Amino acid sequence: MARKNVLLLVADDLGKQLGCYGCSYIKTPNIDKLASEGIRFDYAFASTASCSGSRSTIYTGMHTHQNGQYGLQSGKHHFMTFDHIDTGPAILSRHGYLTGIVGKIHVGPDAVYPWEYKAESLTRDVFWSADRAAEVFEASKADGRPFWLTVGYHDPHRDRTRGGFGNDEPFDAGIKKVKYRPEDVTIPEFLSDTPGVRQELASYAEAISRLDQGVGRILDKLRQSGLADSTLVIFISDNGPPFLNSKTTLFDAGVRLPLIIRHPELPASVNPNLVSYVDVLPTILEWTLGPAFNALPKSDERAGRSFLGILGATERQPGWDHVFGSHTFHEATNYWPTRFLRTERYKYHRNIAWRLDFPFANDLYGSLTWEDVRNNVGAADPAVEEKKIGARPLRDYFFRPPEQLFDLVDDPAEVRDLARDPAYAEVLAELRGRLEDWQRRTNDPWLYRDGVSVLLNKHHLDAGLAVPDKWDLDVDRPETKGDGIKMYENKPFGVKGPRS
């Protein structure tokens, strides 16, 4: 197969609320069909749980603390990818590809993401998106160049109302409105069962069914173009559902997401390996460039690795048993840097700014869900019963310790923190060490000692500065001299090793 195209479909704020992932009440026949024809990953993880940041990791193969897209690109937030980053659109453009993007872009600057064809829009008209995609398919056929097209849907993101998901916005008359009743929804483990939650989940489900129709339409257009047999189709989401306990958090509800890939030459299967969104670009590059992929200039910054070689695996493969992630901002006012390491069984969180309250994204603050939670709606006695989001006490959502450890076999909702349990001391120490080694390998400015960045003070450390081996400044014991004070060991940054 000489020609190798890529169609990347990116949903907006979609978790595993799909039939092919076990959601029984939301109708997603087109995405389910894609899954039945392709490879469905059950352990695919976003590196971060925010729209712009997550998209940047997909297009760069780097975590946000590497590529500079620390938070949202839009509006007053204006976070941007570093000017020197070599992105997927830039690389494939140099290799003769027609690169294009339709719909939501949400990363910048333009010079770093030089898509040749751009049809930017936040429309919910998923048929409009399919028609623009068809233009790219035809252009690719006309000039003989292979394509990489990204379609960024705005569904099922919230709209700007209290509990809406764009279901009353204008779109093609051929798109069916699939309605859901609040009483018929299934409450996910990370949410509480309240009237506001049910109302929002029903509206959210309608937006997902609209997204599904768009996916079906665009795959029909691809088939009609005659290019389906030479196209790698990837369906992915940027972060988890726009609800508390999910979006903007690094809990699994926010980062363990759908990833479906239809490879023209591989049979349908379920892949059980742990992969990260930073692995998507290297996989695309290996698929498109073939042997030339190995001849690309090696980037010391790129964290991801191609999973093309294990794409059809149906059993766990050596080395694909963990992922890392980083979150620093959502909106400019949502600073709460945290890092995580996820293995097959455990999840370790390092909450760097743990002394700060966990911040609200504005769409979550205005939601009916939060209105119900704060007023303890659904409790038998709201004045007495503890306020919770799902099984998590409200206090534990907003106030988190500097590190957390969860056993996901016994506690998939990440509610019971084991970090201070002596029985897990060895597990905690191992995962803490692995995470900090990864932070050094990826030149993470948010590896802290004594309340400051170790990386940004590396020149002082190299000159002999002594720093206490504590994450935060201890105002009661600030001394660096005296008996019994353990000092930080000055270790190198940017060293080689697995970075995903």
At 353, which amino acid appears?
A
Do the Cβ atoms of 266 and 310 come closer than 8 Å? no
* Active-site residue, from 8, 51, 72, 259: 51
Task: Extract the tokens encoding 462.
Answer: 């190299």
Three-class SS string for the chain? CCCCEEEEEEECCCCCCCHHHCCCCCCCHHHHHHHHHCEEEEEEECCCCCHHHHHHHHHHCCCHHHHCCCCCCCCCCCCCCCCCCCCHHHHHHHCCCEEEEEECCCCCCCCCCCCCEEEECCCCCHHHHHHHHHHHHHHHHHHCCCEEEEEECCCCCCCCCCCCCCCCCCCCCCCCCCCCCHHHCCCCCCCCCCHHHHHHHHHHHHHHHHHHHHHHHHHHHHHHHCCHHHEEEEEEECCCCCCCCCCCCCCHHHHEEEEEEECCCCCCEEECCCEEHHHHHHHHHHHHHHHHHHHCCCCCCCCCCCCHHHCCCCCCCCCCCEEEEEECCCCCCCCCCEEEEEECCEEEEEECCCCCCCCCCHHHHCCHHHHHHHCCCCCCCCCCCCCEECCEEHHHHHCCCCEEEEECCCCCCCCCCCCCCHHHHHHHHHHHHHHHHHHHHCCCCCCEECCEECCCCHHHHHCCCCCECCCCCCCCCCCCCCCCCCECCCCCCCCCCCCC
Task: Extract the tokens encoding 238.
Answer: 């940027």
Do the Cβ atoms of 47 and 277 come closer than 8 Å? yes
| Spatial CA neighbour of 262 closest among 42, 39, 32 | 39
Active site residue 51: yes
Separation CA 26–CA 207 (nearest Å): 10
Do the Cβ atoms of 439 and 447 come closer than 8 Å? yes
Separation CA 249–CA 240 (nearest Å): 9
Separation CA 92–CA 140 (nearest Å): 14
Residue with tokens 């097959």: 344
The catalytic site residues sit at 51
